[in-house]
Amino acid sequence: MRPLGIATWILAAMALFILWGAARADFSLLPESAKSSLDRCYRRCEKNNPPIPSPQPTRSPAPTIGKACDYYVKDSRTITFAVQSEPQVVCIDPPSNPSPFVEISTVNAGNASCADFWLQAYSPNGAITDPSIGPQPAAILRRVPGRYYAAVVLRQANNTACATLTFTVR
């Protein structure tokens, strides 16, 4: 490979200097009269066509689970039932609370790691939690007015006590 001569370095430096100056300057390919008429056109457009305000936000519909509620958590904050291997839907009307979140927690009757459940919670505004999988699944959702849903499935259990969940909603 041949080393570059001093003239090549000077030309490269001048090209970089010209590009740097063009990038930093208020540079336009349009003549000054065309720029000002373009600016006038933009101002006229904005004056005669004011921006349209965004539409009012709408609520997402409540999630559809595909089946009616199997269990309800209403006035009381706790309910206990045996979970099956097909999805069961728990309808939740959370108690009023100043907390910004609704917490759905569970405890299996064996109070041990003797079962494997799948739980997913649905908010009235359409938000869905990530699935919670384990012996005592739980979910936390932002508090909004309306009915919450939780779908729960028993994946595996060692005995009957472990297949029973106690739901607590705060």
Pick 60 or 96 by higher pLDDT. Answer: 96
pLDDT of residue 159: 84
> What Cα–Cα distance (Å) separates residue 86 from each residue in 40, 67, 96, 105, 151?
67, 12, 31, 20, 10
Q: Write down the mean pLDDT value for the chain.
A: 79
**pLDDT tens track for 64-79:** 566 788 888 876 677 7
**How high is the pLDDT of residue 10?**
87
pLDDT above 90 covers a percentage of the chain that reads 10
Q: Which residue has the tokens 């030309």?
A: 11
Specify the 3-state DSSP secondary structure of 135. Answer: coil
User: pLDDT value at position 45?
Assistant: 73
Q: Which range scores top for mean pLDDT: 38-42, 53-57, 61-65, 91-95?
A: 91-95
Question: How many Å apart are CA 39 and CA 30, to the nearest integer?
Answer: 12
pLDDT-wise least confident of 33-47, 79-93, 131-145: 33-47
Express as a percent the part of the chain with pLDDT over 70: 75
- Residues paired with 149 in a beta bridge: 91, 122
What's the confidence (pLDDT) of residue 132? Answer: 92
Structural domains in the chain plus CATH codes: 71-169 (2.60.120.380)
Of the ranges 49-63, 82-96, 117-131, 146-160, which one carries the lowest mean pLDDT score?
A: 49-63
